Amino acid sequence: MQSPSSLRLVALAVSASLASLTTTTTAQLVGTSTAEVHPPLTTQTCTKDGCKDDKTSVVLDSNWRWLHKDGGTTNCYTGNTWDKTLCPDPKTCASSCAMDGADYTGTYGITSEADSLSLKLVTKGPYSTNIGSRVYVMDEDDEHYRMYMLLNQEFTFDVDVSELDCGLNGALYFVEMEADGGMKQFPTNKAGAKYGTGYCDAQCPQDIKFINGEANIIGWDPSKSDKNAGSGKYGACCGEMDIWEANSISNAYTSHPCSITTKTKGAYRCTSEKECGVDKNRYSGVCDKDGCDFNPYRMGNKTFFGPGADFTIDTTKKFTVVTRFITDDNTAKGTLTEITRHYVQDGVTHEMPHSNHKAIKDMNSLTDTKCASTKTLFGDKDDHKAKGGLAQMGLSMSRGMVLTISLWADHAAQCLWLDSDYPVTAAKSKPGVSRGTCATTSGVPDEVIAKQAESTVKFTNIRIGDIGTTVKGISIGKSSAVTQDDSEEDTPATKQSNDTPSVDVAAVKGNSEVGGEADEEAVDGAATKETDSEEEVDGAATKETDSEEEVDAAATKGGDPTATKKAEGANPVVPLEADDSEVDPTVAGVATSVGAEEASPTKPTAACKRRH
């Protein structure tokens, strides 16, 4: 979202002082109050001949936007309820309501310059105070999302997480949205990708206001703990690949496949609690909400990633993250078999450290074998395998995925699944429980927002290309995840152009810190009945929204401890009880489609989002 997977996103937004100002949600028509101008963001495509600039940009998720009567100023959605006159049924609502453009910097704290994108946690505008945001990368035509084809490719970016402390998640991930935001398939959607429509993820978020071109008002259940949140009958499901969910303490990357067979592209609208994977039906749904994740700290490497010179990757400084999507035949048409990770800092390349857990000590990447082994060791249900594993994840990649970037705080689980001990009632010595050094009392949204209001995450130099072309110094060949008996010598990396960021090839090295539990053995299969992994809480269980929209300040004081990682309104004070799953910020990375406070119908209130 771990969105999130995921989860995995709960961005929080606090309503403005103007009691009459309306909040934003996903609209299907286009308003005229504010022009939509996408912040430019230069990205790159790389080959063996070098990297070329792409004139891309970013767009704000539609759930944040002001939703009002088409041609008027009457709110279609106020607080956590729909206007029954404008929205008596899904189709009428879609044809009656419009959404407007966004003031990216003034209202949402989103700024870009050249190849740099910054997201600020708290932005105080003239009409509202916004918390968190979620954006998508647009193609050069400025009308469609850029579709990233990841198989047999290398995806790289630089990131600065130095200002993100416990309880925050600066996320970057891919979801299988449609390039046009659903306009062609659903003609009632007149806004499309240009206004950030069509979101979906592996949490099957039910807070999305419009799905398949229709308002999600059937069975709409206003949140009892958040006057801006609610959930409808339907959810928006699709494959999700969480490349990066992190703060300065911990990070994780996670695969979330979906076994959707009746639809090949874009959001699949789940129509029942079983299909959406609600509550006890979590593992009966169409998507793997838990996902298969790799968090170095959770794998026992406790000095690899963190703030200060004592860590291999010092998060007080910028660094580069390199992710490779390896197929069985080393072509873009092959089957996804492994996802590897490298880091580059101060000219030195570091491979992902191997796990210090004895049962999985040879693992330092995502493979189906690694996923199965960690699920067994940690006592989690292997829904990743049940939903098709990496091969199924690869099918989503083969159809193209949309790059999503977000910053959010977690009302459901305080980001403990990312940077602390989770579940909080589990023994810290149990494999998989410790995910970072943050206290189990950290991450309370109100405290995070108050203490880290100025926090900003910055992503720069985003690039994709053939393996070995986005950064120098990383060898090409079988990954180090292969056992010693099966390993082969790496072949030299492809020669790069002068445009390719360089690192000291001789300095490339792995890292395997001590710190794993002393005696870890595979957990008995029966233990899988309960999952303790960092996985996203079932979105349906929370009946809170999974989109990232503004949350009224007063509403954030209470919450439902069963809410999903992304859903807003979860109790920010009492840690979640031991659960058989963890929340995923990504899922929706990663949020609750929260409506904004009633306000002057001519100005949008900063919307709050889940995540991811």
Catalytic residue annotation: 240, 245
CA distance 392 to 285: 15
d(CA 192, CA 179): 9
DSSP state of 384: H
Report pLDDT digits (tens) over 161-192: 999 999 999 999 999 999 999 999 998 899 99
For the chain, list the domains and their CATH numbers: 29-557 (2.70.100.10)
H, E, C per residue of 258-286: ECCCCCCCCCEEECCHHHHCCHHHHHHCC
Across-strand partners of 117?
Answer: 112, 459
Query: What single-letter DSSP state applies at residue 537?
Result: P
Burial (CB count <10 Å: 0-12, 13-18, 19+), residue 210: buried
Distance of CA 159 to the CA centre of its chain: 15
The residue assigned the tokens 């390896």 is 326
Average pLDDT for runs of 10 along the chain of length 612: 38 34 48 84 98 98 88 87 95 92 94 99 85 95 98 99 98 98 91 95 92 94 67 96 99 96 80 96 96 97 98 99 99 98 97 94 94 96 98 97 96 92 95 97 94 98 98 67 34 39 44 37 38 40 37 33 33 31 35 32 34 38
The closest of 481, 483, 541 to 510, measured between CA atoms, is 481
Phi and psi torsions of 41, nearest 5° = -145, 110
Separation CA 114–CA 158 (nearest Å): 14
Q: Report the chain's terminal Cα–Cα distance, integer Å.
A: 4
As a whole number of angstroms, the distance between CA 194 and CA 213 comes to: 15
Query: Mapping DSSP to helix (H, G, I), strand (E, B) and coil, where does residue 416 land?
Result: helix
List 44's β-bridge partners, or say none: 53, 463
Q: Give residue-wise pLDDT tens across range 528-553.
A: 333 444 344 343 333 333 333 333 33
* Phi, psi for 364 (deg, rounded to 5): -145, 25
Tokens standing for residue 76 = 């279609």
Q: How many residues does the chain have?
A: 612
Which DSSP letter does residue 10 get? B
**CB distance 450 to 457 below 8 Å:** no
Which pairing describes strands 235-237 and 268-270: parallel, antiparallel, or unpaired?
antiparallel
Strands 305-306 and 313-314, by their bridges, are: parallel
Residue closest to 382 by CA, chosen among 371, 391, 390, 392: 371
Reduced to 3 states, what is the DSSP secondary structure of residue 225?
Answer: coil
Alpha-carbon span 134 to 123, nearest angstrom:
14
User: In whole angstroms, what is the distance from residue 13 CA to residue 122 CA?
Assistant: 8
Spell out the alpha helix ranges (H) of 167-295. 273-276
* pLDDT given at position 290: 94
Tokens of 283: 């593992």
Q: How deeply is 275 buried, as exposed, middle or buried, from its count of CB atoms within 10 A (0-12, 13-18, 19+)? A: buried
pLDDT at residue 97, as a whole number: 93
What is the reported pLDDT for 570?
30
Model pTM score: 0.78
Q: DSSP assignment of 106-124, as one string?
A: HHH-EEEETTEEEEESEEE
